[in-house]
Structure 1
Amino acid sequence: MEKFNKKIDVSIKIIIFSSFIIFVIFFLVTTYQLYKNGVDVCFVDDCLGNFLEYYENTLKIPPATLAILTLIFLWHASNIYVHTYNTTHKNNLNTQMVNTQTTYLNHYKNFSEILDHYLSKVEFISIQSIDKFEFYHFIHNDSVNGDFNISQRYNEFIDDINNNILNLQNNPIRDKEYRFHIDEIVKKFSMIGFSLPNCPRKEFMKIEFNCYILLNLINKSKNIKEINSPSHCF
């Protein structure tokens, strides 16, 4: 914008200088022609009308120059306004983006600290077995853009877990079939960033039960529906 202003300043000076030169040339040429034709030129009131008539074209130069300069000024002023508006708008967007990112990082940090706190209250689940970043973004899938609502897919995940628990209550599985249940739970929890070991039934029941306890602690802090009591884990 500074270079543009310098160009405008130079252009205005050129126009003024050129207009002055043209005015002087026209004035001298007109005066010479009048003198050549034997017409007396005077600048007193008695012959002012003749003066205005003879120098009519010459006297049009200053108003024309002023009109051109006015147009340039208005055009330049509009450019300054547009530039200022765009700069302000861009700065506002940048500020908004920075604020959104700051809020997002603080929200994630708070979630991470809460998760660490809740992990200290459960057994058989280590911090290393959970990808906090993936778990957080599964719950808040659009948090980067400032939307911290609970994602639809997490609500569906909780519904799926509850349906599975209800199904196991109504249709108990045998020891031989429990292996399929373990595989299914390991797969489900991998979706939210949990890495569960594929271990024998008795050990896995403890892990599964504590996963539900952990999720209920998280859900309660976020006013999300809780997971039903998993009777098959007792």
Structure 2
Amino acid sequence: MDELGSASSPQLPVTVDGAEEDAALAKSLFLTRKEVIQRRLRRVRQLRRCYRTHYWALLEELRSKYRDYSWTYGKSPFKEDNNESENGNPNGVVNGVGGGEDVVRCRFSGCKTKAMAMTQYCHAHILSDSKQKLYQGCRAVAKNLPTGPSFCNKPVLKSVVPAACPTHHQFGERCLARALRRAGLGNAIPNNRKPTVKLHVVVSEFVHQIQKQRKLALKETALKVETE
């Protein structure tokens, strides 16, 4: 087995370390405790080396495939010739860079970005795909309109909790740190972004924020009634 070879390359038979010694002791009826421990330790060390070599081979193969995936579906430094797409190709399919494969463009109107794998939309417009099950819109309020709140709605994975894009997630952390400082707790969020304060303090601060928002909403409603 090559130390950093491909995991899919043909494997050669592995020779067990100390095979000559094991063959000499194969016909023995009894082995001492020291001999058993030495044989097990020798085989465990060899197995660990095999696992380590196989792990790095898989990692190299993963890096190679990820590089190919990023080159095909990501943002390539080269811009392909879009003459075929502009001359009536409805699907926006052009030849890929150097690979000879077809690259699908995003079907969203006006978008020329490469589509993600197994779909016809790019990451920015993946929510336009009614069949996708992995992404949801960011639920952070971007703007308050007279008709109601307007959400950010940038695509984020459904496994992300809370459902917020990186920008609004960082904004929420800053608001939490500011609220904790206002409560007299100082810089309670360390570099690992895990609060060290007690849960009841955080809950009371959230309740205070909710009550404040409700009071503002009632005040705006009362002003509208008086105006009418």
- Common fold: TM-score over 0.5: no
Q: Which has the higher contact order (CA 8 A, sep 6+)?
A: 1
Higher strand content, 1 or 2: 2
Higher helix content, 1 or 2: 1
TM-score, length basis structure 2: 0.27
TM-score, length basis structure 1: 0.26
